[in-house]
Structure formats: structure tokens, C-alpha cells
Copies of this chain bind each other. A is one copy, B any other.
Amino acid sequence: MAVIKYSRQRKAIKDFLMTRKDHPTAETVYLNVRKTYPNISLGTVYRNLTLLSDMGEIQKLHFKDGLDHFDADTRPHNHFLCTECGAVLDIDFQSDNDFHLDEQANSVFDGKITGHITYFQGICPDCCINSV
């Protein structure tokens, strides 16, 4: 597997992912891409999600629900997890301190720190409305 050819299935998977701001699971990707390619298999979805992730075109994320979630936004950004409904959302917010955080952590850690991700938790907008 030296040269990577961009199959339509792979393109469809990435295209779908780019339309979403939440972070769908493989299952969700599968169900949606199947609208366009009814014969696509779950295995193919997994293979391509892993491949895209290895190529750095998407991010593979792990949350408490134990499932893999996928994100087409590969820029460093923070995530939010709703403790009510399990939704995973982006947070478009970088603390001023974010840039210095790795250095600060390095100064108290014997190994070498190359990056970090912050996960916020709480109640998402939808659940806030519904719980009033």
C-alpha cells in the first residue's frame, strides 16, 4: 500500500465529516455515507477513517462513551462533552495561556511534552434549554 488512491468512498467519508461540527462515530458516518453509497460496508468506513486519521486529514478522538469519534477539523482546538446527552462539541476558544502551557508543564515534568488537549465538561446548550 504505497501509493494512495483517493476512492469515492473515502472522499464521501471525508466530505461528510467536513459538514459536521459535532464529532460523529463510525456508525454515524456509515449510516450517512450509505445514503450516497448504499453498498458501502462498515469495514470500509473504519478502514478509511483510520487511514485518513493516519494521514492527518482527520482526528480520531476517544471519549467516555468508549467509542471512537472523528473530527475533520485538525487544527488544535478544545472540546466539550455534555454530561447529560453525551454530545461532543468544539469550543472555539483558546486561552491566552494555551501557548505557554506546554512550556510550563515541561518545567515540572521529567519527560518531554509536545502538546495538549483540554476537554471541558458540563451541560450543552440543548440540554440547558430542555432542563428549564
A124 CA to B113 CA, complexed, in Å: 8
Say whether A111 contacts B97, CB under 8 Å: no
Given the complex, which residues of B lie within 8 Å of A125, measured CB to CB?
A: 110-111
Within 8 A of B (CB), among A97-132: 97, 101-102, 104-105, 108-128
Given the complex, which residues of B lie within 8 Å of A60, measured CB to CB?
A: 64
A82 interface residue (CB < 8 Å to B): yes
Given the complex, which residues of B lie within 8 Å of A97, measured CB to CB?
A: 95-97, 101
From A60, which residue of chain B is reached at the shortest CB distance? B64
> Interface size of A by Cβ–Cβ distance < 8 Å?
41
Say whether A115 contacts B120, CB under 8 Å: yes
**Nearest chain B CB to A37's CB is how many angstroms away?**
27
Say whether A128 contacts B111, CB under 8 Å: yes
A112 CA to B83 CA, complexed, in Å: 10
Given the complex, which residues of B lie within 8 Å of A121, measured CB to CB?
A: 113-117
**A residues in contact (CB < 8 Å) with B:** 60, 62-64, 66, 68, 78, 80, 82-83, 91-93, 95-97, 101-102, 104-105, 108-128
